[in-house]
Structure formats: C-alpha cells, structure tokens
Structure 1
C-alpha cells in the first residue's frame, strides 16, 4: 500500500490504473478507523481494480470547534489496518492541500440536507459536500462507499451527485455493530468505560422499539425511545425522528411509506453519537 499526500501524485497513480482499463473505488473517511470502515474497504477492494481510502479530518463540516479539536487522529494505526484490508492507496492530505483557498461554494442539496442533522448542525452538510466533491474531482472514482450509520449523509451525497452530475455509483453498506449491538463509531474512542456501558442503551432501545411499534403509533414510539434513553445516566437525546427512508421527511403513520427509518442523535456526556433503525424496508 502507498500513502499519498498530494493530489497530483494521487492522480498520476490512478491514471496508470485507468490506462489498463481498471476501475477505481473510493472510501472517504476521517480516520480513527474501525471494523465498520474496514467492511467498506473490503467491499471496495472486491468490486474494483483498485481501492483508494482517504483519511482526512475535514474542518468545513464541523460546526463545533471543540468537536474538531478532539476528533481522534490515528494515521499510523489507520494505515496498518488499511494495508491489512487490501487497500492500494491511502490518501492522507494536509488541510492546505484540500483547501489551498477558502471553499465558498454553497450547495442546494434540497430537503434531505435541511432536516435532522441539517437542523441541528447548520452548515455541516455543505461542508460534507465540499470535501466529497473535492475527493470525487481528485479520484474520479467509479464507485464510492459509505456506511449506513450516516444514513442522512448518504442521502445528501446522492443529492450532490445528481446536482453536479457525477458519474459515480454511491454504494451504501450496512451498519457494523459491536457484539452488544452498539454501532461502531470513531467517536466511541472518546467514551469513558462507564459511558460506553451506558451508551449501548441507544441500540438496545432502538431494537426494542421495533416490537413496541407493532402495537403503538409513530408518536408513541418516538416518546418511548426518547423517554427510555433520557432516563439512562449520561444520555441526553438531541432528536429522534421517524422518517420516510427516501425523502427523510417525518411520517405520521406507519402506513405513510413502505420504507420507514428511525434516526437518532444522543449525547453521551460530551460525545455526540448517531444511530438508526429501519421499521419498514
């Protein structure tokens, strides 16, 4: 595996693959890699001639400077994991390489970017669109791989792809969980042992809510999840919304759509955790 820090060097290596008719897959990450990322990498390796993984903590998608400051950075360990998973190129640029000048672009991403995370993290998805578009321009991948834990982000990226007419297939991969059910996240590294013990209630409550929902309304299910989690030490629900899985607009009744997903954000101490679960799919 090669570690590349410059866009020009990256494009030169990718051009060699293209010359031989090969396909290129991209896995964008912010590092602090875990098994969830590695599942994306393994699928990318299996489905393409070459797998490129970007490792870059993107400053423009953080609306909380403290969150940016404390986001874990573990490049050496990340590269070892990537090599073991069959990645060919790790692209690990500095901020100045990706943003030689300020990126002032504003994307019209539609309603999928305005609800949930878009409401609580203003500017976040515009920053995501900025960096993902820059990565697409640099790599020009045939396929790009994203985890469904970031459910809304996938919808936003698909909107961006349509808006900018990128010839990229967006591949969504299932959430990877710990043995106890907790969704894998780089932010889990910031939890104390006691917080980690309490945080598993997020996934456990979501799983239980599927059964609860069979005999209760959408509104009652939302109240059940929020009240259950807010009663757990260290946990504070920022939002829990049950939405149409395609439009991300809230549903009022289980019959409103054939694809219904519950999306949640919970603070565990100062650490912001997200998860989601499908009720109908």
Structure 2
C-alpha cells in the first residue's frame, strides 16, 4: 500500500491503474480511523479494483472556535487499518498541498445546508463541498463512500454531485455502532469515562423516537419531544438540536407522511456528538 502526499502523485498512480482497466473507489476521511471508516473501506474494496483513502484534516470546514488544532491524528494507526481493510493508497496531503496561498474558489450548496449542523456551523459545508470536489477532481473515482452518521453531509454531497453533473456514484454506508449503541466517531476519544457512559443517551433517545413512529405517531413535534425528554434525563447531556426533516430536501416537517430524517446533535460535556435515523413510510 502506498502513502502519497501530493495531488500529482495521486493522479500519476490513478492514471496507471486506469490504463490497466482498474476501477477506483474513494473513501474521504479526516483520519484517526475507526471501525466505521473500516466498513467504508471494506465496502469500497468489494466494489472496486483499487481504493484510495484520503486522510486530511480539512482546515476550511472548521470554525474559529472549533477543534482544528486538537482534532486527533494518528497516521500510523490509520495506515494499519487501511491496509487491513483492503485499501491500496492513502492520500495524506498537507494544507499547503490542497490550498495554495491565494486560494479563493469554493463550492457551495444552498438550502440543504441552512439547517441542522449547517445552522450551528456557518461555512462548514462550504468547506466540506470544496474539499470533496477537489478530491473528486484529483482521484477521479468511479465511486465514493460516505457514512450515514453524517446524514446532512451525505445529502449535501449527493445533491452537489447531481447538480454539477459530477461523474461519481455516491455510495451511502450504514452507521457503525459500539456494543452499547453509541455511533462510532473520532470525537468519542474526547469523552471521559463518565461522559462515555452518559453518551449512550443519544441512541436511547432515538430508539424511543423510532418506537413512537413505528407505533403510528405522525406528529413530528410529539416525536421530537419524546427524544428531547429522554436526552434531558441525562444530566451530562445538553441538546444542540433535535430535528425531523424531509430525507431529501432536509426541510422541516410537521406531519410525517413521507421518508424523514430524525437528526440530533448533543453536547456530552464539551464534546458535540451527532446521530440520526431515517424512517420510511
């Protein structure tokens, strides 16, 4: 397995692969990989001849008060996991490899980014869409793999690809969870032992919301209140948002009569965690 640092190196290798008739899959990540990322890499290796995994903590998707400097990094561990899961190349550029000094071109998706995490993190999705577009241009994969835990990101990337006629198939992959239900995340490492125990409240609250929907509840506000009441029962949990939106447009819904996304963001101590589920009628 190769580790390369520049777009030119990636293009050179991918060109050789494609000359041999190999298909290429891309798994974009910010590193500090866990089993959730591993599931994306394994899926990509099943569906493509060659797999590129990007490991890049993208500075332009972090706000001024967010955890860019402290975001966990461990390229040695990442390399071992990528190799075990069937990856063929790690693309690990520096910020200067991705953004020249006078960089001033960005990709924006409107409407879908105005709510949920987009409302709390202005500029975040502009950074995500810009770096993903750059990765698509550099790697030129047939398919790219994204986890459903970042549901808004997945919806935004799918819309960007559709609107801009990007020749990449977006493959959604299921949320991977710990044994107690907590969605796997690089930010879970920020949690103290007490906070880690408290964090299971996210999955518990969503399960109660899903149970209400399964039992026939169709009033979005009622379901949201069930989730909020459960979250509020945990003293270490502070709700950022609890929303029910249309799965495609991500617009808030009042009466549930189509496919919906129920998404939450919750602070456990100082760590912001997200989780979600989709409910299809």
TM-score, L = length of structure 2: 0.96
CA positional deviation for 1:64: 4.0
Equivalents in 1 of 2:64, 2:237: separation in Å? 19
Deviation per CA, 1:147-206: give whole Å up to 9, x if none.
Answer: 000001011111221233210000001111111111110100111111010001100110
Kept in 2, the 8 Å contact 1:23–1:142? The answer is yes
CA positional deviation for 1:118: 1.3
Kept in 2, the 8 Å contact 1:218–1:242? The answer is yes
Could you say what secondary structure the match of 1:195 adopts? helix
Residue number in structure 2 paired with 1:260:
260
Instruction: Note the aligned Cα RMSD (angstroms).
Output: 1.3
Equivalents in 2 of 1:244, 1:53: separation in Å? 31
Residue number in structure 1 paired with 2:248:
246
The structure in which a higher percent of residues are helix is 1
Residue number in structure 1 paired with 2:194:
194
Equivalents in 1 of 2:15, 2:105: separation in Å? 28
Equivalents in 2 of 1:244, 1:202: separation in Å? 21
The answer to whether residue 11 in structure 2 is matched with residue 5 in structure 1 is no
Could you say what secondary structure the match of 2:33 adopts? coil
The answer to whether residue 222 in structure 2 is matched with residue 220 in structure 1 is yes
Residue number in structure 1 paired with 2:48:
48
Residue number in structure 2 paired with 1:93:
93
TM-score, L = length of structure 1: 0.96
Could you say what secondary structure the match of 2:67 adopts? helix
Could you say what secondary structure the match of 2:149 adopts? helix
Report matched runs for 1:261-280 at 5 Å: 261-280=261-280
Kept in 2, the 8 Å contact 1:35–1:184? The answer is yes
Kept in 2, the 8 Å contact 1:113–1:125? The answer is yes
Residue number in structure 2 paired with 1:17:
17
Residue number in structure 2 paired with 1:181:
181
C-alpha distance 133-207 of structure 1, shift in aligned 2 (>3 A) = same
Kept in 2, the 8 Å contact 1:181–1:203? The answer is yes
Could you say what secondary structure the match of 1:236 adopts? strand
Kept in 2, the 8 Å contact 1:109–1:163? The answer is no
CA positional deviation for 1:102: 4.3
Q: After TM superposition, which residue ranges in structure 1, 4 or more long, deviate above 4 angstroms?
A: none
C-alpha distance 103-203 of structure 1, shift in aligned 2 (>3 A) = farther
Number of residues paired by the alignment? 279
Residue number in structure 1 paired with 2:168:
168
Kept in 1, the 8 Å contact 2:246–2:260? The answer is yes
Equivalents in 2 of 1:79, 1:206: separation in Å? 34
Q: Which range is displaced more, 50-59 or 2-11?
A: 2-11
Could you say what secondary structure the match of 1:70 adopts? coil
